[in-house]
Amino acid sequence: MGTIVARKRKDGSTGYNAQLVIKRGGVIVHRETRTFDRRQAASAWLERRESELGRPGGLERAKIEDPKLATVIDRYVDESLKAIGRTKAQVLKAIKTYDIAEMRCSQIGSPHVIALARSLAAKVQPQTVANYLSHLGAVFAIARPAWGYPLDPQAMKDAFIVAKRLGLTTKSRERDRRPTLDELDKLLTHFGERQKRRPRSSPMQKIIAYALFSTRRLEEITRVEWTGLDEVGSRILVRDMKNPGEKIGNDVWCDLPETALRIVQSMPRKTAEIFPYSADAIGASFTRACQFLGIEDLHFHDLRHDGVSRLFEMGLNIPHVAAVSGHRSWSSLKRYTHLRHTGDKYAGWKWLEVMTANPADPQGNGRRAA
């Protein structure tokens, strides 16, 4: 016997829960619920489902395990032998707070994924919505072949197409923001004063400079270890380098420009990591400093973009730049080829001596500028 109950959703809209209960000898042998946006759709589903379950073998087929999406997400995270990145883990955790996470696998179709996309689009940019759907798509891709759950991967594929056509998703925009020498002067002065007040705080001056001259991403900086430093070859082993479709275990040797190597050599060798600090704390510190100093729309990742741009402006070719940046596909570097050979932006920069100074030689005495 089926019933329909109207319920208010978190976003204020009304959903219609179609509830189907089958009893045998006064005992409930099957219970099923599905939510619809319209009462007519709920009624039609009840009628069709009662007919399906009434056929020979229908009830047996209905007993196939059909967990909620939230349960499938948890199993995906728990059983993945390939470690899941921090961003992906956060996204999947966030998806569990939306209505779709409480739905059974068999209930979820492309309209429900689109409803999730609409809810996300009200809070974040289309690029972020695309990232959410992409990470959720990984769960859809393996739920049926791995565990036999009735989660339809085609529903996700259809939703991707619709979301793109509706403008709910889009590709990430390429940023071209670069820090000016004046902005860097403000930042490095600010962090230098902080270092004097709090000597045990993270050496943001060196971290910023290393990001510029090594072209490394923030999380990569905090993972580099002394055992991965080849001083003779002037290169560093970058662990878990970001790459489409692969990150964990993607360890790559990257060339270290002279200044970047000298910054590394200036760090105390007291821990396994060269920069033994939290990526989250560094990023937050950088953001707060920019806000305090009135520096608008500058992200820590923009330092990498500036570093790669500088290498091209110095006249290096794509293979040489890729050896430093770690880009596996040279096509990713084509966006920089419009840059003209204009020389080194940081030639004679007053901060170079400070960045490469070690604790025993805090003023950088005797060191030459790169």
d(CA 305, CA 259) in angstroms, rounded, equals 17
Strand partners, 30: 22
In this prediction, residue 370 carries a pLDDT of 33
Sheet with 229-230, side-by-side order of all strands: 229-230, 235-238, 252-255
In this prediction, residue 330 carries a pLDDT of 75
- Which residue type, as a one-letter code, is found at position 147? W
How much is the CA Rg of the chain, to the nearest whole Å? 27
Take residue 297 and report the two structure tokens written for it: 């729309």
d(CA 22, CA 193) in angstroms, rounded, equals 72
What are the residues whose beta carbons fall under 8 Å from the beta carbon of 342, sequence distance 6 or more? 313
d(CA 207, CA 355) in angstroms, rounded, equals 9
Take residue 217 and report the two structure tokens written for it: 């991403």
Query: Can you list the alpha helix ranges (DSSP code H) found in 166-273?
Result: 181-197, 204-214, 218-221, 258-265
**For 216-250, b where at least 16 C-beta lie within 10 A, e where not — what string?**
bbbbbbbbbeeebbeeeeebbbbbbbeeeeebeee
Consecutive 10-residue averages of pLDDT for the chain (370 residues):
84 87 82 85 87 77 78 88 77 94 92 95 91 94 90 93 92 83 96 92 95 94 94 92 64 94 94 93 95 95 94 92 88 80 90 78 39
What's the start-to-end Cα distance of the chain, in Å? 80
Q: Which one, of 195, 100, 211, lies nearest residue 151 by Cα?
A: 100
Residue keyed to tokens 């991403």: 217
In this prediction, residue 85 carries a pLDDT of 73
pTM over 0.85: no
| Neighbouring C-beta atoms of residue 123, cutoff 10 Å | 8
- Which residue type, as a one-letter code, is found at position 198? R
What are the residues whose beta carbons fall under 8 Å from the beta carbon of 198, sequence distance 6 or more? none
In this prediction, residue 218 carries a pLDDT of 93
Give ∠ CA 24-29-30 in degrees, rounded to 5. Answer: 125
Which CATH number is 181-355 given?
A: 1.10.443.10
In this prediction, residue 133 carries a pLDDT of 95
Contact status, residue 337 vs residue 312, Cβ threshold 8 Å: yes
- In which region does residue 288 sit, left (phi positive, over 0), alpha (psi from -120 to 50) or beta (all else)? alpha
d(CA 229, CA 30) in angstroms, rounded, equals 62
Count the alpha carbons within 13 Å of 26 in the hemisphere toward its beta carbon.
Answer: 0
